[in-house]
């Protein structure tokens, strides 16, 4: 029996393993990571306690049961000791948290971002205008900010070299290989042409968007916003235009009645062309719409010029319509009493807090535009 195991030696190994485990457990202290490493080292599949059990296979039944139960006892003790230590580490951790973390239930609740964040007055007015026209059955169309001379001027009946082009203070890009220069659209009117080209009459849409002119003072910024409107059908006439604008302004300024005054004007793309003033009262810095004896210019409009219909592929013998364009920035200044346009673009948080709107108050006609 040369390969029978040395029983004395195994018994010693079991004792040593137990002593080793106790020593290691002592040095673990309250370190939970070290405790887990010890668990793997001693009780893992190839851990030193399991390694001892491998010798059982070579023993006779009697010895196997004797040493087997010794090794098992060691295994159970070690398992239990580890569980116990784990629990006491957790207990210490909870005690520490209880001592360090305190919740003051009397402290005021901190407002969420949704409550403190503000909608910019321009976005607010944009949404208000869209809500009003959507209610009147207008679709919302969009076009590119970077335009060609054709869409911004040519198709809108601005003749080459006409002084009306210069009035727009256009930002031009460098000429391309063919010598053509793209530009930043100076108004939202190009969207009239683009939308008519892409569809079939009748048309009834608005286009809110960014526009650009090389201009900067208290009431002008190089980038500003316009809202274009276009209605084209077989019998659309000036009366429809006047009614539409009156309804819009009444809803927008949230007053019972507004009085409009139409003055003859000139735009290459409308004939006749008009500028529209609203009746207002000026009380110091404040402007009240719908009362008083003063007039305030608010938008440009007119009947769509036959040349514009023609260049958009619409037969001017059969169709006619009206167009209008107004500055969203100006509408916002008037409605919300904001004196300087440049502040719109300065991203001053204090200004936004003062003039901004609550994020969840989405403007609707039914629920109220600005409240
Ligand atoms: N596009 C014109 C402007 O920017 C406004 C306008 C639009 C006038 C539509 C008439 C009709 O000045």
Residues forming a β-bridge with 294: 280
Average pLDDT value for the chain: 91
Task: Assign a CATH topology to domain 120-358.
Answer: BirA Bifunctional Protein; domain 2 (3.30.930)
Looking at residue 3, what is its pLDDT?
53
Closest atom of ligand 1 to 325 CA is: 7
Strands (E), 22-159: 118-119, 139-140, 146-147
List the structure tokens of 224: 């500003």
Atom of ligand 1 nearest to the CA of 301: 10
Strands 260-267 and 203-212: unpaired
Question: Which residues have C-beta atoms less than 6 Å from ligand 1?
Answer: 187, 189, 228, 267, 270, 300-302, 323-325
| pLDDT computed for residue 189 by the predictor | 97
The per-residue pLDDT for 4 is 57
Over the stretch 103-145, which tens digit does the pLDDT of each residue have?
888 988 888 888 888 999 999 999 999 999 999 999 999 999 9
- What pLDDT does residue 368 have? 80
Minimum-distance ligand 1 atom for the alpha carbon of 326:
5
Give exposure, 186-212, as e/b (b: 16+ Cβ within 10 Å): bbbbbbbbbbbeeeebebbbbbbbebb
Strand partners, 226: 209, 327
Q: State residue 137 phi and psi, 5-degree precision.
A: 90, 20
Taking the domains of the chain in order of start, what are their residue ranges? Answer: 7-101, 120-358
Residues of the chain with pLDDT under 70: 1-5, 371
């Amino acid at each position: 029996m040369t390969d029978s195991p040395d029983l004395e030696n195994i018994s010693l190994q079991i004792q040593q393993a137990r002593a080793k485990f106790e020593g290691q457990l002592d040095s673990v202290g309250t370190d939970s990571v070290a405790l887990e490493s010890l668990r793997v080292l001693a009780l893992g599949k190839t851990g030193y306690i399991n390694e001892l059990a491998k010798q059982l296979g070579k023993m006779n039944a009697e010895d196997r049961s004797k040493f087997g139960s010794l090794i098992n006892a060691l295994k159970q003790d070690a398992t239990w000791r580890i569980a116990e230590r784990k629990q006491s580490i957790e207990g210490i951790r909870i005690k520490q948290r209880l001592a360090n973390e305190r919740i003051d239930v009397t402290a005021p609740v901190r407002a969420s971002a949704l409550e403190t964040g503000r909608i910019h007055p321009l976005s607010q007015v944009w949404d208000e205008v869209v809500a009003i026209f959507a209610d009147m059955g207008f679709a919302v169309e969009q076009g590119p900010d970077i335009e060609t001379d054709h869409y911004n001027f040519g198709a809108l009946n601005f003749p080459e070299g006409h002084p009306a082009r210069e009035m727009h203070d256009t930002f031009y890009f460098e000429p391309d290989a063919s010598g053509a220069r793209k530009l930043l659209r100076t108004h939202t009117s190009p969207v009239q042409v683009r939308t008519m080209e892409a569809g079939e009459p009748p048309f009834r849409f608005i286009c809110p968007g960014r526009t650009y002119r090389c201009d900067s003072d208290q009431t002008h910024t190089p980038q500003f916003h316009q809202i274009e409107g276009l209605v084209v059908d077989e019998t659309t006439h000036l009366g429809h235009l006047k009614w539409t604008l009156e309804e819009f302004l009444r809803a927008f300024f949230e007053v019972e009645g507004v009085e409009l005054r139409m003055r003859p004007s000139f735009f290459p793309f409308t004939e006749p062309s008009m500028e529209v003033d609203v009746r207002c009262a000026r009380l110091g810095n404040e402007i009240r719409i719908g009362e008083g004896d003063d007039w305030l210019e608010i938008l440009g409009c007119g009947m769509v010029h036959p040349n514009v219909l023609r260049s958009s592929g619409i037969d001017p013998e059969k169709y006619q319509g009206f167009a209008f364009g107004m500055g969203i920035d100006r509408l916002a200044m008037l409605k919300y009493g904001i004196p300087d346009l440049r502040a719109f673009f300065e991203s001053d948080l204090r200004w936004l807090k003062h003039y901004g709107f609550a994020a969840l108050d989405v403007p609707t006609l039914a629920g109220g535009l600005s409240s």
